[in-house]
């Protein structure tokens, strides 16, 4: 019987530890609202419970006169997992960089059509298609495609393939 009780307690310990793993509890939310913490900061704390800053620490920072932007930076700096830019934002930045580098709309569209893409869901739940470098072409295709090298703003070397027959050359 004694070993059964010990075994039962050992089985319950992981559930107790898991239940107390959250830094923000249901009781902390009204305390933070009463202290004047914004809804955005409270939601950020709830969604990103990967840091060691709890509700009481946030309330102390707020009462000490720290602005919410500074508190948010402290939380992000203390995060176990760094915050990543969403895939959609990255892809828009890449397209914007290509446009600023002087690529024509046709060249950008040609690149987007020739680039492999994989569906990807990032940490924010945004579903998008991640652009991959263009696939290698076989030699039979080489005679119809002229390759032009451009200085790439991308983190990998990019070759833009333009089909001279489609552009009226």
Number of domains into which the chain is organized: 2
Domain that holds residue 51: 18-77
Confidence (pTM): 0.41
Is residue 168 in some structural domain? Answer: no
- Shared domain check, 71 and 33: yes
Q: Summarize pLDDT for 3-29 with one digit per residue, the tens.
A: 777 766 767 665 544 444 467 888 898
- Residues 81-124: tens digit of each pLDDT: 666 666 677 778 888 888 999 998 888 888 777 765 566 666 66
Q: Which residue has the higher pLDDT, 57 or 146?
A: 57
160, 110 contact by CB (below 8 A): yes
User: Is 145 found in the same domain as 91?
Assistant: yes
Same domain, 156 and 91: yes
Domain-embedded: residue 10:
no
Give domain status of residue 7, yes or no: no
Same domain assignment for residues 73 and 100 = no
Same domain for 95 and 73: no
Tell me if 12 is assigned to some domain.
Answer: no
Report the percent of the chain where pLDDT is more than 90: 15
Residue 167 within any structural domain of the chain? no
Whether residues 47 and 100 fall in one domain: no
DSSP lists the bridge partners of residue 131 as 117
Q: For residue 147, report the phi and psi dihedrals to the nearest 5 degrees.
A: -95, 130
Q: What phi-psi label fits residue 147: left (phi over 0), alpha (psi between -120 and 50 degrees) or beta?
A: beta
């Amino acid at each position: 019987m004694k070993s059964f009780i010990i075994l039962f307690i050992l089985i319950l310990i992981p559930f107790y530890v898991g239940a107390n793993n959250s830094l923000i509890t249901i009781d902390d939310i009204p305390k933070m609202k009463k202290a004047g913490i914004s809804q955005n900061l409270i939601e950020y704390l709830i969604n990103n419970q990967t840091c060691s800053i709890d509700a009481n620490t946030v309330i102390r920072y707020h009462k000490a006169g720290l602005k919410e932007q500074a508190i948010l930076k402290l939380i992000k700096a203390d995060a176990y997992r760094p915050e990543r830019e969403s895939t959609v934002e990255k892809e828009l930045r890449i397209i914007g960089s290509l446009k600023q580098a002087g690529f024509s709309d046709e060249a950008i569209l040609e690149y987007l059509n020739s680039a492999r893409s994989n569906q990807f869901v990032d940490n924010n739940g945004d579903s998008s298609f991640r652009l991959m470098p263009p696939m290698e072409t076989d030699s039979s295709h080489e005679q119809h495609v002229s390759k032009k090298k451009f200085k790439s703003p991308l983190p990998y070397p990019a070759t833009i393939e333009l089909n001279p027959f489609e552009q009226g050359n």
